[in-house]
């Protein structure tokens, strides 16, 4: 290694960053460079959303304002993934106090929606679409709480770019056009949804300009009147009218009495790093348990992409998810064993279940004594405030229903409940379902990192792989996002999806252990999700941003103020 490359490596290590040494400037594994700046960076799944956030920073806003602006824009340009008819989770890092804050803006089931009600209607399991899958959307209340506690701009200012884009229209991008086209049949089932999202009787094609005047109106109402416009005002009236016409149970009180809540993040350590997730009703606990199990194996010695490392990680996923499915749901009104599942002792016992030579095709939860459509974005501002934000309708266009005149799809998060009375995630009125969407955060020394990878039940396992890429395999945050991933959506069996960039030799070795590999494309975003990340080196005052090529997005830095 020559002196110049040695100096670069030592500087990166001194800043607490994991790096991948390169033979020369053009010989590397990653396809994109990190975005590096002393000013703020917004990483989002659409360049328009990232630019909206960066513009908010340039106009004097902070990370909270930029996150809201970017999220609102994502609801305009990727309406199947997210929007004001969905839910929201946030981890906010306040640079001045050095504290982390969690925001759970997931909605509850209508008071009148019960297991008995659905069984009387002939349901034997939770419906995936339609009016009975709709829970109260939490996004707007979450925006207001985030803006009021940490933002510098009025909510109307944060929403301004999204309003204008909805009014004037935007050219539909490649991935968005593909997802839109897959949802035509669902949208055709609801007159208002078809009128909103199939303006010519079909989904917009790549490069076609799509406008949504109804959504612009809804965003304007929120900007002028705050959360009350959505939960008590004109938007609420339109939602309730749609509920009534479709036989739903949601009432004015279900909307008006809803409130998101500030929560304390949960955490574990992983080889010197501290990794944070939000507590249940999200699935983030599974990511932390998975990391704890992975920590019992020397993954760095095994090497990235080796059958030995992948086997340990896949088996750790199965164990953590089995515990998630059995023990986790809405924490209010029931005692959940969060501390036990987060403990190193629990992980050590679970790790003993992993056979180095054989895949376990029937993994049960540990015995204790006593769907998916989402958008993720992250922000760091010039002062070091950071946001890890995830927002979702659940499946493409959520329930498939649009309240006439509102311009947005209502989520189908209720589909994640079960109808098994007495279990942690059983349906009940005013209860929140177990959630797939999770933001994440990590720190070591003077380094702070906000990251997330979307995609239903993919998310916890993707978080753990990202952390391992940074910590065990010494990748920078861009390389860690780009690296090939596996994903196992099912909770049982030996099936596992893998991107084809993993070496054939390692795949054959995994198959010999009993893994049933479903080989996917090189960047299979619909299976392994797409992510964003920002990192701040507080010692140097430098920010880094990364954006997953599996999505249409970018990491965009704000320009210096003139």
pLDDT, tens digit (0-9, with 9 covering 90-100), for 312-321: 999 999 999 9
Average pLDDT score, the chain: 92
Catalytic sites, residue numbers: 374
- Percentage of the chain modeled with pLDDT above 70: 93
What's the distance, CA 279 to chain centroid?
Answer: 14
Split at pLDDT 50, 70, 90, the class of 10 is very low
Predicted confidence (pLDDT) at residue 8 exceeds the cutoff of 70? no
Q: What is the pLDDT of residue 25?
A: 53
Q: Which two tokens stand for residue 529?
A: 């999700």
pLDDT at position 367: 45
pLDDT per position as a tens digit, 115-134: 999 999 999 999 999 999 99
Segment 14-28 mean pLDDT: 48
Q: How confident is the model at residue 377 (pLDDT cuts 50, 70, 90)?
A: very high
What confidence score (pLDDT) does residue 325 get? Answer: 86
pLDDT average, residue stretch 41-55: 97
Q: What was the pLDDT predicted at 1?
A: 43
pLDDT for 424 beyond 80: yes
pLDDT per residue as tens digits for the range 452-493: 999 889 999 999 999 999 999 999 999 999 999 999 998 889
Q: Rounded mean pLDDT of 344-372?
A: 80
Q: How far does CA 82 lie from the centroid of its chain?
A: 11
- Compute the distance between CA of residue 57 and CA of residue 409 in angstroms, rounded to an integer: 29
Give me the pLDDT at residue 526, please.
85
| pLDDT at residue 2 greater than cutoff 60 | no
DSSP classification of residue 435: B
| Average pLDDT score over residue span 271-282 | 96
Query: Model confidence at 15, in pLDDT bands (50, 70, 90)?
Result: very low
Asked if residues 128 and 395 have their Cβ atoms less than 8 Å apart, the reply is yes
pLDDT of residue 373: 61
Q: By C-alpha distance, which of 142, 134, 112 is closest to 193?
A: 134
Domains within the chain, CATH numbers bracketed: 37-262+373-416 (no CATH), 270-371+437-557 (3.60.20.40)
User: Above 50 in pLDDT, residue 369?
Assistant: no
Q: What percent of the chain has pLDDT over 90?
A: 85
Q: Given this model, what pLDDT does residue 374 score?
A: 78
pLDDT of residue 329: 83
Torsion sign, CA atoms 176, 178, 182, 184: positive
């Amino acid at each position: 290694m020559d002196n110049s490359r040695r100096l670069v490596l030592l500087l990166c290590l001194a800043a607490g960053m994991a790096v991948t040494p390169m033979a020369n400037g053009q010989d590397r594994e990653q396809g994109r460079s990190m975005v590096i700046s002393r000013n703020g960076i917004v990483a989002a799944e659409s360049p328009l959303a990232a630019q909206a956030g960066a513009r908010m920073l340039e106009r004097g806003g902070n990370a909270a304002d930029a996150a809201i602006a970017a999220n609102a824009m994502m609801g305009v340009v990727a309406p199947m993934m997210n929007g004001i008819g969905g839910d929201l989770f946030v981890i906010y890092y306040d640079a001045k106090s050095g504290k982390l804050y969690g925001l759970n803006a997931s909605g509850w089931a209508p008071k009148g929606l019960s297991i008995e009600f659905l069984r009387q209607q002939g349901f034997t399991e939770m419906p995936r679409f339609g009016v009975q899958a709709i829970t109260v959307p939490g996004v707007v209340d979450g925006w207001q709480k985030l803006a009021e506690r940490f933002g510098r701009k009025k909510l109307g200012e944060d929403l301004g770019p999204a309003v204008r884009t909805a009014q004037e229209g935007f050219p539909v991008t490649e991935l968005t056009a593909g997802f839109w086209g897959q949802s035509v049949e669902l949208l055709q089932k609801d007159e208002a949804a078809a009128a909103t999202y199939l303006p010519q009787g079909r989904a917009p094609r790549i490069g076609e300009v799509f406008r949504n005047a109804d959504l612009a109106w809804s965003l304007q109402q929120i900007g002028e009147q705050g959360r009350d416009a959505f939960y008590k005002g004109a938007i609420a009236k339109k939602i309730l009218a749609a509920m009534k016409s479709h036989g739903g149970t949601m009432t004015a009180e279900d909307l008006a009495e809803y409130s998101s809540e500030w929560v304390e993040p949960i955490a574990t350590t992983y080889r010197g790093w501290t990794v944070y997730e939000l507590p249940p009703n999200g699935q983030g606990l599974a990511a932390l348990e998975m990391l704890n199990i992975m920590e019992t194996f020397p993954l760095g010695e095994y090497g990235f992409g080796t059958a030995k490392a992948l086997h340990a990680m896949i088996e750790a996923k199965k164990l953590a998810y089995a515990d998630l499915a059995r023990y986790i749901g809405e924490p209010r009104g029931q005692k959940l064993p969060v501390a036990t599942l987060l403990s190193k002792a629990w992980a050590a016992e679970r790790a003993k279940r992993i056979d180095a030579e054989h895949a376990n095709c029937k993994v049960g939860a540990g015995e204790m004594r006593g769907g998916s459509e989402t958008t993720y974005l992250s922000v760091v501002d010039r002062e070091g405030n950071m946001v890890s934000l995830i927002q979702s309708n659940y499946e493409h266009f959520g329930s498939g229903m649009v309240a006439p005149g509102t311009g947005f799809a209502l989520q189908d998060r209720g589909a994640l409940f079960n109808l098994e009375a007495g279990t942690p995630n059983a349906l009940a009125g005013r209860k929140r379902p177990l959630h797939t969407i999770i933001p994440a955060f990590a720190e070591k020394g003077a380094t702070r990192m906000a990251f997330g990878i979307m995609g239903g039940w993919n998310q916890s396992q993707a978080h753990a792989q990202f952390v391992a890429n940074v910590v065990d395999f010494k990748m920078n945050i861009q390389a860690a996002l780009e690296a090939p991933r596996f994903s196992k959506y099912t909770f049982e069996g030996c099936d596992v999806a893998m991107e084809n960039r993993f070496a054939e030799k390692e795949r054959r070795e995994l198959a010999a252990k009993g893994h049933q590999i479903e080989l996917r494309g090189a960047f299979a975003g619909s299976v392994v999700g797409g992510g964003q990340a920002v990192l701040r080196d507080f010692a140097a005052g430098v920010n880094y941003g990364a954006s997953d090529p599996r999505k249409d997005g970018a990491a965009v830095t704000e320009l210096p103020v003139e």
